[in-house]
Structure 1
Amino acid sequence: MTSTASPAALAGALNVPHDVQDLLFREARTANSFSDEPVTDEQLQAIYDLVKWAPTSMNTQPLRALVVRSPEGKERLVKHMAEGNRAKTASAPVAVVLAADTDFHENLPKTFPHKPDARDMFSGSEAGREGFARLNSLLQVGYFIIGVRAAGLAAGPMTGFDNAGLDAEFFGGTKWKSLVVVNVGKPGENPWFDRLPRLDYDEVVETV
């Protein structure tokens, strides 16, 4: 069924102000260049402190983050990025590597104290645990992008990189598996590609 409501009416059906809706979604864009304005540790902590409240299955919270801001760190990161992603990553004040911790269950007594046997639920199958970690971490990646926008910054999420090479470079000896690299900062010169269309409600939603 095609909606006949106007965009203004649809926006009015939501419980946050129109300008907040625009900030987080309608006017938010993926930046492809960045200014030299710094991104502070306080901003990154504020982003995490907001998005940590979003849900994951059983409150497992498997997402981990590596903040790359030093020239040395950038050099190590950029060599693993796809060619088209190298310049934008090098120019961003901060690049955040978001990863799934497949040993997330080791933290469950702390994050899920009312079920003390939760760790045992995931200890038997590493393959099953990795799939669970990836799914829930990718949920958290979405939350992180919205948090970056809430901080008045632009996010440039990318999956075009050598996952195995990046993991060996930064995550050796751990069970972290890279998922997405997100450049974070204020937009630079000509930061936007042309806006691509989105599917309408009736193209993606069915009701039974």
Structure 2
Amino acid sequence: MAPLDARTRAQLLTDARSQNAWLSRPVSDQMLRELYELTRWGPTSMNCSPMRVTFVRSTDARTRLQSAVLTGNVEKVRTAPVVAIVAYDTAFYEQMPKLFPHRPNAGDLFRDRPAFVEETCLRNSSLQGGYFILAARMLGLDCGPLSGFDPGAVNSLFFEGTTLRVNFLCCLGYGDPAGLYPRSPRLKFDEACAIV
């Protein structure tokens, strides 16, 4: 594969920002479908693909979600065109015959092993969440990922009686540049990496 050009790198990472304020421009259902279509191709262990996404757009669902986020995130959730609840399915292994067909019994590795299931779900749905953000940026959307919420409340409000559990929230839409904070620094290679 050839390296991506500087403009694409900037759109995906170096110039992209976490958004805090949103323009009133809508995000179509078709755009959300395209977003998932791109995201689903990112790799996960044994192709387990545990991420599940609930796109919150209706007034009722948005009001419920606002009740579960920290005060500083209420306005972001209220004004974003869409808020994605990026979750994972703790019964993901039931899909293994379809997703890992050359080892149709691979799901048996996870049955009756809740700690292994939780670890696998969290790691792989987080990977998929990263792909989700990059895919959104590829489509020209801005993202505002959030971890300031009560996971028990989100699970109760949206996933009661299911095998889904929230990982993080991600506001989606077209960001208002007026809501950006100054860019925060990042660690340099020698501060964060080692070659051994």
Same fold (TM over 0.5): yes
Between the two proteins, the alignment pairs up a number of residues equal to 195
Amino acid of the structure 1 residue aligned with 2:174: K
**Structure 2 stretches of 5 or more lacking a match?**
none
1:175 aligns with 2:163: yes
Q: 2:4 aligns with which of 16, 30, 48?
A: 16
Aligned to 1:159: 147
1:147 aligns with 2:102: no
SS in 1 for 2:179: coil
Give yes or no for contact 1:35–1:189 (8 Å, CA) kept in 2.
no
- Alpha-carbon displacement from aligned partner over 1:5-27 (angstroms, at most 9, x marks no partner): xxxxxxxxx70111000000011
1:39 aligns with 2:40: no
1:49 aligns with 2:40: no
In percent, how many aligned pairs have the same letter?
Answer: 37
CA RMSD between the two structures: 1.0
> What is the CA distance between 1:105 and its match in structure 2?
0.3
1:88 aligns with 2:66: no
Amino acid of the structure 1 residue aligned with 2:115: A
1:64 aligns with 2:32: no
Give yes or no for contact 1:153–1:186 (8 Å, CA) kept in 2.
yes
> What is the CA distance between 1:191 and its match in structure 2?
2.1
Which portions of structure 1, spanning 4 or more consecutive aligned residues, are displaced by more than 3 angstroms? none
Separation in structure 2 between the aligned mates of residue 203 and residue 166 of structure 1, nearest angstrom: 36
TM-score normalised by structure 2 residue count: 0.97
Amino acid of the structure 2 residue aligned with 1:156: G
> What is the CA distance between 1:124 and its match in structure 2?
2.3
**Structure 1 stretches of 5 or more lacking a match?**
1-13
Amino acid of the structure 2 residue aligned with 1:120: D
Please say which of residues 161-170 and 185-194 is displaced more in the overlay.
185-194
Amino acid of the structure 2 residue aligned with 1:86: V
TM-score normalised by structure 1 residue count: 0.91
